[in-house]
Amino acid sequence: MRVAIYPGSFDPITNGHLDIITRGSKIFDKLIVGVLVNVDKVGLFEIEERVELIKRVTSHLHNVEVISFKGLLVDLAKEYDARVILKGLRAVSDFEYEFQMALMNSQLDSNIETLFMTTSAANSFLSSSSVKQVAKFGGDINNLVPAEIKEDIIRKINK
Q: Calculate the alpha carbon distances from 64 to 55, 81, 111, 121 in Å.
A: 9, 15, 22, 24
For residue 60, indicate whether it is catalytic: no
Contact 88, 20 (CB under 8 A): yes
Is 9 annotated to bind a ligand? Reply is: yes
Query: Whose Cβ is closer to ligand PNS: residue 62's or residue 106's?
Result: 106
Apex 18 CA angle, 104 and 14, nearest 5? 90
Minimum CB distance to ligand PNS, residue 138 (Å) = 25
For residue 128, indicate whether it is catalytic: yes
Q: Of 72, 1, 69, 83, which is closest to residue 33 (Cα–Cα)?
A: 69
Determine which one of 17, 25, 50, 132 is catalytic.
17
Angle between helices 147-157 and 47-57 (to 10 degrees): 160
Is 38 annotated to bind a ligand? Reply is: no
Under the binding rule (CB under 6 A), the answer on residue 43 touching ligand PNS is no
Query: Whose Cβ is closer to ligand PNS: residue 40's or residue 140's?
Result: 40
CB hemisphere CA count around 109 (13 angstroms): 17
Which amino acid, one-letter code, is at 121? A
Determine which one of 25, 50, 128, 132 is catalytic.
128
For residue 41, indicate whether it is catalytic: yes
Q: Which of 3, 67, 89, 101 binds ligand PNS (CB under 6 A)?
A: 101
For residue 156, indicate whether it is catalytic: no
Minimum CB distance to ligand PNS, residue 57 (Å) = 16
Interface residue list for ligand PNS (CB under 6 A):
7-9, 36, 72-73, 101, 104-105
